[in-house]
A = this chain, B = another copy of it.
Amino acid sequence: MGHIIQEGDYVLLFLDNRRSYLVKVEKEKDFHTHKGFIHLGDLIGSEYGAKIKSSLNVEFVALKPTIRDYIFKMARRTQIIYPKDIALIIMFGNIQPGSRVVEAGTGTGALTTALAQYVKPSGKVYSYEIRPEFIQTATKNLEKAGVTEYVELKNKDVTQGIDEKNLDAVILDMATPWLVVPHAYAALKGSGIIVSFSPTIDQVVKTVEALKETGFTNIETVELLLRRMQIERGRTRPETLMTAHTGYTTFARKAFA
């Protein structure tokens, strides 16, 4: 966690709130933007937070990437889990340093990365993914974020069972979470937490029914709306457009029969 930028480090080149770029610093490389190019080698030896000018004399800030930056930059069209939802999953899922967690599915590894950041240094994330191409993408993304050692990617179908036992949490971000509920029950410690994130009401209803049947308690479903504000004296107001729905998150805890 040195705070001087070195060759091989990732840097977030920040222009404004809508435009920033996650790049790897290499001595001889130029990074091209529509505002001119930047000699990445010039950043080596600077402190994070330093400003750098492009060839067109436009100023960028070289920020140290956060978890949220890594997640955001690995998102794709198909990605529907947002940082706000990940934050809730982490806290309401009681994910902590040392937690042992199963996640399914891996997808691009966005949620996996966040889980890994919060279970380290002594915990582990076991992430199930049935589609091999996503395993590849996630592998690269975890390397970029530097959390590979806290994750075991498993190219397996989680609806067929969970290999691990005595888990602290099981986190589901997949199309048919209800099929995993009994496996999660078997794999969790007593009082362990299951979390399921789903875009549709129908998925939530099926999942909650499975949770009730399987012996989970303290079942809750919530939705989180994040509203951006435009703050400027004389012009303060919520922003016009909003991502109004990402998904519903359901939480429950394992009770013994």
Contacts and interface: CB of A to CB of B under 8 A. Distances in A.
A233 interface: yes
Interface stretch (A36-44, A126-134, A216-224): A216-224
Contacts of A225: 224-227
A94 B121 contact: no
A124 interface: no
Count this chain's copies in the assembly. Answer: 4
A98 B118 CA distance: 11
A253 B204 contact: no
Chain A residues touching B, majority SS:
mixed
B255 A245 contact: no
A176 B14 CA distance: 29
A231 B202 CA distance: 10
A255 B83 contact: no
A217 B224 CA distance: 26
A233 B202 CA distance: 7
A47 B1 CA distance: 39
